[in-house]
Amino acid sequence: MISFDQLKTITTPNSRLLYFQVESVSESWMPYLGELHNKLEKLANVQLANEKIYLYFFKSSGEKDFLETPYWVGQEIVGFVTENDLTGAKIYDLYQSEAFSFELSLEIEMSKILTGEIFRSEQQLRSLAGSQLAPTWRICLEKSTKAQRNWTLSVQFFKNT
């Protein structure tokens, strides 16, 4: 059973997100990640800020039409780029804020990240936190230092302001 005190408070830094919008949660995000990496190879003035992959959602997975809702797949970048350089990808500037983070221990293939277990965890944490959480939340995937093929997965919630 998840408890609210398992959430740790984190500060998200100022960052620039290069992302693609995926049309629905039922659609795979993996091809978009490949396309994002192809874009980065062609942009001379841009590089990844880190290896983290983010999946952004704009409503709770408990809402009726969640599976048909668009979401973003992206990575943080550094460097200069204009909208004209992107063709299909977009840039979003994120400002420093506080968020709650919950690390999940799952041994799962990256392509199967969007499972019922993650969505159940999101709903459970949201019900425990009440109105403290904004509708926007994200999944953060980070390469594990323990094993070459494993990823650390965190469900992160932005605080209501």
pLDDT in tens, 13-38: 889 999 999 999 988 999 999 999 99
pTM of model > 0.85: yes
Q: How many domains does the chain have?
A: 1
Q: What's residue 80's pLDDT? A: 86
pLDDT in tens, 55-85: 999 999 999 999 999 999 999 999 888 878 8
Phi-psi region for residue 133, left (φ > 0), alpha (ψ -120 to 50) or beta? beta
pLDDT at residue 100 above 90? no
List the domain range (segments joined by +) for residue 26.
4-159
Contact 152, 105 (CB under 8 A): no
CA end-to-end distance (rounded Å), the chain: 28
CATH number of the domain bearing residue 144: 3.20.80.10
Using DSSP, state whether 62 is helix, strand or coil. Answer: coil
CA distances from 49 to 5, 30, 53, 129 (A): 30, 20, 11, 31
Spatial separation of the C-alpha atoms in residues 25 and 47, rounded to whole Å? 27
